[in-house]
Chains A and B, each alone.
Chain A
Amino acid sequence: MKKYSLTLFLLIIFFFYGCVNRNIYLSERLTESYMRSRWLPPLDASRTTREQVVEKLGNPSGTFENGRIYTYRLIINEWKEGMSDSEYLDYCCTAYYNEKTLDKRFEQIDGDGALLVVTEENMEKYEKEIISSMVEFHLILTFTADGILNRYSLIRVRP
C-alpha cells in the first residue's frame, strides 16, 4: 500500500513538473513599464492634449465629469483574425501552463498583438478575446478645462 501511494505521489509530481502558475509568471513579464514602453503613446502631463490621446488610442471606454476624465480599458488582442471556439476553450480555462507555452504566447503578444480599447460598442464582438486576454490595464486621464492632460494613472487589472 505504501509503495502504491509513493508511486502515485511520484507520478503526480512528474505530471505537474514544468507547470507554472501563469498569473505569477505573466505578472513578472507584463509589467506597467512594459505596457508604457511597448504599447502606449508618450503621455506628458501639462503638454499632451486630449486630441492627441484620442488620435493615438481612439475613443475612451468611459468619460466622467463632462469629459474631464477619460478612462481606457486596454487589452492586447493576440488574435487578429478573431478567436475560434476551440482556441477559446484552450486558452480561457487553464490556470496552469508549462513555461514553453507561456513563452510562446508572450512572443505572440509581443509580435502579433494589437492594443484594443474595450468599449460598450465592441465588448460583445470581442467577448472571447477580452476574457482570454492575458493582460488588461486601465488608463485613467484627467484633463484641464483647456483639454491639456493634467494627471494620469495606469492600473494593472491582470495578470
Chain B
Amino acid sequence: MKDTTKQKNFLVLVSAILLFNMTLLNGGCALPKVKPVDKTVFSDRLQFLTNGTTSREEVLLKLGEPSGRFEGEHILTYMLLIDGNKNLRILPRQLAISNIDPRLYNLNPTICSLVLIFKNDNILEKSELICSGDELK
C-alpha cells in the first residue's frame, strides 16, 4: 500500500516536471503574427504599384533586383524590412539566410514579403504585401 502511494507520488512528480519542461520549451516557440498589410501604410515607395497598370520594367527600375523569382518572371518577390519609422528597406537575397547581417541592426523585427504577379503582357496583375513580426498591430 505504501509502495503504491510512493509510486503515485513519483508519477505525479514526473508528470509535473514534464509539463513544466514542455511549457518552458514551447514558450520560445511562439509564432510571429503573419498577415497581409496595406501597401499604402509604408512610405511612398510602394505607392506606384497599381494592378493593371504598372509594368515589370517600372517595378525593376524602382525596387531593383528582386530577392526571388518564380515561374520564369511571372512572379517576383521582394524581401523588405520595416523600421520603427515605417521606412522600408529592400533586402537582397542572402539576408534570408543570414541573421547576423549588419543591416539587421537597429531595425525592428517586422519583415515583409512583397509578392508581385505579372500578366503575359508584363503588366502587374496582382500584388500583396505580407508581413510577419510582433510589432504588427
Binding site for B on A (CB under 8 A): 21-23, 61-62, 64-65, 68-69, 71-73, 92-95, 118, 123, 127, 130-132, 136, 138, 140, 142, 151-153, 155, 157-158
A-B contact pairs, 25 of them (CB 8 A): A23-B105, A62-B65, A64-B60, A65-B56, A65-B73, A69-B56, A69-B60, A71-B60, A72-B65, A73-B65, A73-B92, A92-B101, A95-B102, A127-B94, A131-B94, A131-B98, A131-B100, A142-B60, A151-B57, A153-B61, A155-B62, A155-B63, A157-B90, A157-B91, A158-B103
Residue with the highest number of chain B CB atoms closer than 10 Å, among A73, A94, A131, A152: A131
| CB-based contact B57/A94 at 8 Å | no
| CB-based contact B92/A153 at 8 Å | no
Chain A nearest CB from B33 CB (Å) reads: 26
| CB-based contact B64/A140 at 8 Å | yes
| CB-based contact B61/A140 at 8 Å | yes
Interface size class of B (residues with CB under 8 A): 20 to 34
Main secondary structure of the interface of B (DSSP, over half): mixed
Q: Closest 7 interchain pairs by CB?
A: A138-B64, A95-B105, A155-B64, A71-B65, A153-B61, A138-B65, A140-B60
Across the interface, name the chain A residue whose C-beta is closest to B61: A153
| CB-based contact A94/B102 at 8 Å | yes
How far does the alpha carbon of A155 sit from the alpha carbon of B61 in the complex, in Å?
8
Across the interface, name the chain B residue whose C-beta is closest to A137: B64
Digitize B42-63: 1 where CB-to-A-CB distance is under 8 Å, 0 elsewhere. Answer: 0000000000000011001111
| CB-based contact A142/B57 at 8 Å | yes
Chain A nearest CB from B64 CB (Å) reads: 3
By a CB distance below 8 angstroms, the chain B residues around A132 are: 102
Having A69-B60, A157-B90, A157-B91, one finds 20 other A-B pairs with CB under 8 Å, namely A62-B65, A64-B73, A71-B60, A72-B65, A92-B101, A95-B105, A95-B106, A123-B94, A127-B94, A131-B98, A131-B100, A131-B101, A131-B102, A132-B102, A136-B92, A142-B61, A151-B57, A153-B61, A153-B62, A157-B89
